[in-house]
Structure formats: C-alpha cells, structure tokens
Structure 1
Amino acid sequence: MGARRYGALGIAHDDTETRARVRAGNCFGASTALFCYLDRNMPAPQWVDAGMYLQTVLLLLRSEGLHSCTQIAWAEYHRTVDEVIAPPAERLLFCGMSIGFAHPAATHPYLPRAPLAETVTFLE
C-alpha cells in the first residue's frame, strides 16, 4: 500500500525524508481530528472491535455529509499526541481520524485498489 500511495504522489521509495513529511501532515487540512485509544491490556484479536466501531463512525459521518479518513500513521507519533491528549497510562493510541468537508477543488492522486483476489481468499 505504501508503494502505491507514495508512488501516486511521485515520491521515491528511498526518499524517507519526504515520506516522513507526508505522514506528519496526515490530517489533510481537516478541521477536526479524532484519536482512538485502546486499553493496553486488550487482547489483539479484540482490536477488530475497534476497527468495526471506527467503520461505523466513518459511515455515520458520511451520512451527515462529512468526509473522514482513519490513519494508523498517528500511532507512530503517539508520544507527541499523548503530550497534548494526556491519556491515562493504561491507554494506547490505536489510530487517528481526520474529519471535515472535502475541498471541492482538491485533486487527489489515483490510488488503484488491489483486486479482490489479491486481498481475499475464498475457501470452498
């Protein structure tokens, strides 16, 4: 996915400085950010519950005319976010979400979707 994303932006794989700058500016100019924290003791399989909850939030936001994007990259900056949010010690930053209205004149690089057969295995 990273190769597709950064490739669509014209950023070379070995250009780590530019890639880091893009990740650091990952709110897309959104007016609101949501940060999702999980209990540190939550077993990894239960993290799926958080993903399903976030998908519901994404769909509800869209039904209200808002655009949003979940961003796992925020977990890379958990220390900085924690300085601002000051979560309890038993919480772990799972991801961030940008929320706002899409800019009507904004253009986005085309990011092709992987074919279903590449991402899903159907067992008979």
Structure 2
Amino acid sequence: MARESQSDGSESELQAILDALGDPDCRRIVRALDEPMTAGELADACDIPTSTTYRKLELLSEASLLVEGTELREDGHHATKYRLGFDEVAVALTEEREFEVSLSRPEGGPEDRLATLWNEVRKQT
C-alpha cells in the first residue's frame, strides 16, 4: 500500500526533484536500486566513479527520492545503504497555473520510521 505525499508547493522542492530526475546518472542509480545498496555497490552497478556517485546520492537524498539506512555489522564497520523513497512522482499544473509535485511513497514499518528519524538527526548535527 502506498500513501501520497504532496509537496508544500515550494519552487525549490519541485526544482530539486526535477534536477535529480533530469540527471542521467541519477536515473541510472534509481533504475539500479531494486534492493538497498551501498554507494560502492551503486558505483559498480552503474559504472559511475565513486566520487560522482556520492554527489548523485546527495542530490537524490536532498530531493527526498532516496532513504538512507544503516546496516549494522558485528565488526563495527557499519555501512550506509540507500533505497528508493518513492514509487511514483507526479507533476501537475493547478487551476492557479502553478506546478505541484506529489510523491507516492511506500508504506514503511517501524524500522523505516526509525531510519527516517535518525537521518533527520544526522542532518541537523
């Protein structure tokens, strides 16, 4: 089941989504994410340099199109994994002739809500 998340109507949010989806490397990353992957795995799968992959992941994350999660490992070397944060993006023209963007997001469980909360804390620190 998916839920709709409508934008707040800001031009910057719309522009961030359009910029991310307009980038060929970002689109390759989106197509490759059929399961959570690390930046290194994505760089290999998409044949994109690692430094470029990190920039594209940041662009997609800032547009709220990706969700970052942490894979905890017994050896203490935890890994950040990325997964898609949307099922569908729709851009519409309102009656006021303004653009509006809405994202259909997958319904998340408790672990997704915790990951989202953790990512917000990391962004603010």
Q: TM-score, normalised by structure 2?
A: 0.25
The answer to which structure has the higher strand fraction is 2
- Of structures 1 and 2, the one with the larger relative CO (CA 8 A, separation 6+) is 1
Q: TM-score, normalised by structure 1?
A: 0.26
Q: Greater Rg, structure 1 or structure 2?
A: 1
